[in-house]
Amino acid sequence: TAKEQGKSTYQLYMPNTDTGVFQRLTLESELQRALEREEFVVYYQPQIDVSHNSTVGLEALVRWKHPKRGLLTPAEFIPLAEETGMIIQIGEWVLRKVCRQSRIWQDAGLPPLRVAVNISTRQFQQRNFVDLIEQVLQETGLEAKYLELELIENISMKNTGSVTETLKKLKSIGLHISIDDFGTGYSSLSYLKQFPVDSLKIDQSFIREITNDPDDAAIVQAIIALAHNLKLKVIAEGVETVEQLRFLEANQCDVAQGHLLGKPMSASEIQALHRKTVRPSF
Ligand code: C2E
Ligand code: MG
Ligand code: MG
Ligand code: MG
């Protein structure tokens, strides 16, 4: 609503602990220019099926090739983009870029992989969000089944029939939906019952100490059981060691993602990797 948007706009003028007001205002105008000059790039991180050790998907992660400050990670600009509303345009750019890129890979004969795109709550709540998705799919000729949306648990998703409505529409088009950073946000188990989602992504904060901390191990086991009982797939984020992967395998986690299995890579690195994987060995 307009009221909510007004609120987030005011936040721009509030003092921030990390960044001075001047720097924030500079960043804001730079974000706008960055879009116009196409300074954003999308990296892709492989998602690996734990029991078959094969790549089953990719997650798209945006970066900003800043002309002076080099490659910036989302933590350095997404929060401000969220506050100012620029995330709507950046998100739309990422979505188009990803669908176009997936189509290019498929046309080049690479095995088709589903690509997951992170969607900010603000972007998801746009009234024309479903139309945008349909438009981009049509424009790029990508089949909906190759697109996944990652949403985070958010307080503003509480008790909204409209969230369910939007998700149902997206599902009926053929998209996959996952809940990102599961267990860290506004957690209400009731939305798992209400929202038609396909998978849960266990936040990396639970994975980090999985082999040392019995509490984390218990939480991860419980999330996996919960997901499976609800007929959902479960993905572990931030897998960095063989021991973590073994634990996940022993506990029937479906998919894993992390530096152990592949860092986020540029589109051309992904293409080179898959060329190598599928090249016949004679
Ligand atoms: P996320 O969606 O939870 O993405 C996972 C983050 O973990 C990524 O950080 C990824 O690079 C990082 N990661 C992957 N494997 C490992 C690992 O083994 N160890 C560690 N320590 N980290 C790992 P990144 O790329 O910096 O992105 C941070 C967050 O920014 C994302 O978290 C997502 O919430 C947001 N984001 C990224 N791209 C977009 C986008 O296009 N739109 C929106 N709205 N948000 C985005
Ligand atoms: Mg994500
Ligand atoms: Mg996550
Ligand atoms: Mg995260």
| pLDDT tens digit sequence for 13-41 | 444 555 577 777 777 888 999 999 999 99
- What residues form DSSP beta bridges with 182? 202
Please state the atom number of ligand 1 nearest to the C-alpha of residue 123: 44
Q: What is the pLDDT of residue 11?
A: 43
126 touches 96 (CB < 8 A): no
Asked whether the CA dihedral 16, 22, 27, 29 is positive or negative, the reply is positive
Residues whose Cβ atom is located within 5 A of ion ligand 2: 118, 150, 180
Please state the atom number of ligand 1 nearest to the C-alpha of residue 259: 18
Q: Is 118 in the pocket of ligand 1 (CB under 6 A)?
A: yes
Q: Between these two residues, 1 and 41, which has the higher pLDDT value?
A: 41
Atom 27 (ligand 1): residue with closest C-alpha?
74
13 touches 21 (CB < 8 A): yes
Q: Is 30 in the pocket of ligand 1 (CB under 6 A)?
A: no
| pLDDT tens digit sequence for 158-194 | 657 888 999 999 999 999 999 999 988 776 787 888 8
Q: Which ligand is nearest to the CA of 91?
A: 1
Centre of ligand 3 to C-alpha 237, Å, is: 6
Contacts of 248 (CB under 8 A, 6+ apart): 50, 207, 210, 220, 236, 239, 256
> Residue 198: pLDDT above 90?
yes
Q: pLDDT tier at 4 (50, 70, 90 boundaries)?
A: very low
What percent of the chain is modeled with pLDDT above 70? 88
Q: How far from chain centre, in Å, is Cα 232? A: 17
Asked whether the CA dihedral 232, 90, 114, 242 is positive or negative, the reply is negative
Centre of ligand 4 to C-alpha 278, Å, is: 31
Both tokens of 237, joined, read 């984020």
> Which has the minimum average pLDDT: 159-163, 256-260, 264-268?
159-163
> Residue 3: pLDDT above 70?
no
Q: pLDDT tier at 206 (50, 70, 90 boundaries)?
A: very high
> Residue 223: pLDDT above 70?
yes
Both tokens of 177, joined, read 């939906």
Asked whether the CA dihedral 115, 201, 55, 213 is positive or negative, the reply is positive
Burial class (CB in 10 A: 0-12, 13-18, 19+), 36: exposed
Please state the atom number of ligand 1 nearest to the C-alpha of residue 42: 41
Mutate to test the pocket of ligand 1, among 35, 41, 58, 61 (most ligand atoms within 8 A of CB): 61
Q: Is 81 in the pocket of ligand 1 (CB under 6 A)?
A: no
In angstroms, the CA 33 to CA 52 distance is 44
In angstroms, the CA 214 to CA 209 distance is 9
What percent of the chain is modeled with pLDDT above 90? 75
Read off the pTM: 0.91
* Of residues 162, 164, 173, the one with CA closest to residue 133: 173
Mean pLDDT over the full length of the chain: 89
